[in-house]
Structure 1
């Protein structure tokens, strides 16, 4: 607990000014520091006050009397401050990591009305995973006028992730290199170094003792011809937001693969079939309902009905495996699917950082009954899926 004596015993000048910014306008009469704040400091103070006045109000420390608040400010505010201005100003005033933390608190903790109802405020949000996660959790409170801007923000983040993983994901899934066919796609995984050296031997530089590569040769990749069914079952309980995000991205990539049919289900205690949206990760993220209980066994029973050729089916379960009902049905279903030669993969996390948070006891029992369990990034997941489908 900070008291007046501790503050007075601290060095004057810069330290007093820091205490003033930490404690806010209510410390004015004790610190007498407000007059020493420069323009830059006053802008920081204004940004902090705009956000944390919501904390004061929730604790009954701030009245709703707008005139009283303005009189305390003494005319320091040159214009009306709103959420859009606050976002723009704060982005300039604070380091990126600090701003993102403040932005997250604005949405998640204080649910600033401007962000939830003003399309321009959504445009000002930092397009990152945290923004997507927070907006998804508050989707039911968003006004209709901001829906398009929310979709646009999610699209930016999704497209950025797709740029990073799409090519490697597709290469891992579409088979080995075909040395008898050349490719115009210049990808390091397709690079044929033997053929490249052979084709450029005539360009050997005697002085440098090097081969000058004028033409690099790349192989195409052999497409799989026999069809596979991939059934992707994604847990949409509240703790699975990051996994849902990457599952949606991966699903959109899988729909582009040849000779692969994808079924996409999200579940809590019920199952929702999103197969018709699988090619559009943004629509998936706008549709899922985070929260609720967990009934993995019920989801697998539902998915089992979609199996046509068990030996050509891969069932992928993305979950933390904290089953919310009796485990008997889940264990029996996994045992039955394994006996029918269905390949089962359990992803404890589909997060790009691959942080594993899952029920070890349940996942171990599922592994004993034939489900392979792992915590992988999307690219490693693609490699794993390709190995299973060989």
Structure 2
């Protein structure tokens, strides 16, 4: 009986809401209900264009697809389906969901509030947009990215600013730089025995030394659609790090091919407009390319941003990681680089990579900055 129920559930998912009247014993819940609603939002329009109307056995009002907006639908299918399915339904959406209006009329974009979710949707579809709309997408990207940069830059700069230099005095007077030992020593002559206090008229502060040792940071970013959120933050981090002294930043994006965007690393919007989402994934090929960028291994950091869903033999990737580890390159694999740092990744490959010498983590951008600061310190 259980097996029969599972078969009916699968058929109900395949046939959609129009089959509910004939399969009224099947009740969808949880992710099944969400997936059914998201697919119905797309494909019910096509069925209605063919003249098929819902009867009394149609779906309940609580599941009516009008509850979803176009952007809400995009975010829903991105969270529900794997990349291969997402690419198919997004392609169908261009022709049947009304997203052609979104991609062809800049006035529609002007009416939307720029935010990260909107940026993710537009970047995913930018390849299908006309030149006029692409320019508006660039404006939205600039607005959203500038806000992220303003928020993150002070935090990253603080993490990488350097440690106190106890042999140089500073004109910048802050409690962070306060040298209490030197202050007590220089004011001992002002000790008040009655009040049992030192009256300090000369305060001392440490200087802060900037790191001058050359460090090369290689950001190697998987541009598959599932990594879009991390791609946005990787582009932002590349821009911030490029502006810091004594850091040489290289930015590489990949799918089955490798594109070196190091010349554009200072401009995250240009990077986002250059990425090509979708396609296969050759992580080993990307890491092999990054090997060629290593000049001083002990002063090189490789940050690989990927979901570790390797399209080719994992053995090639593991061999490359082992070579870099033997050369003493510092490596970290980021299964997520985003505000929530919630990863979806191939755990088996990630474990093999970790065993070969690469740290694996999911980090928020500020925690990634802290990790860089600890390595470079």
* TM-score normalised by length of structure 2: 0.69
Structure 2 regions of 5+ residues with no counterpart? 1-39, 52-65, 76-92, 185-202
Corresponding residue SS for 2:156? helix
CA positional deviation for 1:101: 5.8
Corresponding residue SS for 1:263? strand
Per-residue CA deviations over 1:109-133 (Å, capped at 9, x if unaligned) read 5243332112222111121111011
Corresponding residue SS for 1:266? strand
Which residue in the other structure is 2:290 paired with?
303
Which residue in the other structure is 2:124 paired with?
137
Contact 1:232 1:263 in 2 (8 A): yes
* Equivalent-residue separation in structure 1 for 2:316 and 2:350 (angstroms): 14
Which residue in the other structure is 1:262 paired with?
249
Corresponding residue SS for 1:261? strand
Find out whether 1:227 has 2:217 as its counterpart: no
* Equivalent-residue separation in structure 2 for 1:122 and 1:181 (angstroms): 53
CA positional deviation for 1:362: 1.2
Shift in CA distance, 292/175, structure 1 to aligned 2, threshold 3 Å: same
Corresponding residue SS for 1:234? strand
Matches within 5 A, 1:265-344: 265-344=252-331
Which residue in the other structure is 2:144 paired with?
157
* Equivalent-residue separation in structure 1 for 2:119 and 2:179 (angstroms): 42
Which residue in the other structure is 1:58 paired with?
46
Contact 2:318 2:356 in 1 (8 A): yes
* Equivalent-residue separation in structure 2 for 1:118 and 1:217 (angstroms): 62
Per-residue CA deviations over 1:172-224 (Å, capped at 9, x if unaligned) read 123223464547698x9x464959x98xxxxxxxxxxxxxxxxx998664211
Shift in CA distance, 225/101, structure 1 to aligned 2, threshold 3 Å: farther
Number of residues paired by the alignment?
291
Indicate the RMSD between aligned Cα atoms, in angstroms: 3.4
Shift in CA distance, 258/105, structure 1 to aligned 2, threshold 3 Å: same
* Equivalent-residue separation in structure 1 for 2:340 and 2:243 (angstroms): 25
Shift in CA distance, 229/142, structure 1 to aligned 2, threshold 3 Å: same
Moved more, 345-354 or 103-112: 103-112
Contact 2:177 2:207 in 1 (8 A): no
Which residue in the other structure is 1:102 paired with?
69
* Equivalent-residue separation in structure 2 for 1:134 and 1:323 (angstroms): 25
Corresponding residue SS for 1:269? coil
* Equivalent-residue separation in structure 2 for 1:185 and 1:138 (angstroms): 50
Contact 1:56 1:62 in 2 (8 A): no
Matches within 5 A, 1:133-212: 133-178=120-165, 180-182=168-170, 190=176, 192=178
Shift in CA distance, 55/357, structure 1 to aligned 2, threshold 3 Å: closer
Structure 1 regions of 5+ residues with no counterpart? 1-51, 64-98, 199-215
Contact 2:332 2:360 in 1 (8 A): yes
Per-residue CA deviations over 1:328-349 (Å, capped at 9, x if unaligned) read 1111111111111111111110
Corresponding residue SS for 1:115? helix
Per-residue CA deviations over 1:109-166 (Å, capped at 9, x if unaligned) read 5243332112222111121111011101111111111222111111111111112211
CA positional deviation for 1:60: 2.5
Select which of 346, 356, 371 maps to 1:359.
346
Select which of 198, 219, 224 maps to 1:237.
224
Which residue in the other structure is 1:381 paired with?
368
Which residue in the other structure is 1:251 paired with?
238
Corresponding residue SS for 2:211? coil
Corresponding residue SS for 1:279? coil
Matches within 5 A, 1:76-95: none
Corresponding residue SS for 2:302? strand
